[in-house]
Amino acid sequence: MARRQKPAKRKPAPQVMAGKKDIVEVKSAASRRASIVSLIRGLPIGTVSSYGAIARAAGWPGAARQVVRILRQVPGLPWQRVVGSGGAIKLPGENGAEQRFRLRMEGVTFRGARVDMKRHEFKFPRVRGHKKRAD
């Protein structure tokens, strides 16, 4: 005897009038995206930064995946200057080889398979008023 499935719950219809809170959230997401784009564009030649460092500098800690998504969506960004934590090239195959080649052309040196972060990591200025949390 077959089990009877429960009917799927309906999602409420979107309301035409959005509240102020919804508008503020959209603006903050758009401003975060714009700040990530400007931070990536601001990376000087011969320097690199990690996905997580860019997210933190944009005021969006823990959003390294969103940085990856923005790199894929926005054309013309210097994508080769953004690496994984510790200087790891995260792109597989030919794309990773292309990133390594472009970084070498900019004068970036490697320690094994990783970028020498002590020499080439770009340090973003700290935002005033934000303190590191003591965990």
Q: Is the separation of the CB atoms in 82 and 113 below 8 Å?
A: no
Classified as helix, coil or strand, 118 is helix
Domain boundaries in the chain? Answer: 27-120
Q: Is the separation of the CB atoms in 115 and 83 below 8 Å?
A: yes
pLDDT tens track, the chain, 135 positions? 566 666 666 655 444 445 545 444 555 778 889 999 999 999 999 999 999 999 999 988 999 999 999 999 999 999 999 999 999 999 999 999 999 999 999 999 999 999 999 999 999 987 665 555 555
Q: Give me the CATH code for the 27-120 domain, please.
A: 1.10.10.10
Round to whole Å and give the CA distance between 84 and 90: 6
The 8-class DSSP code of residue 3 comes to P
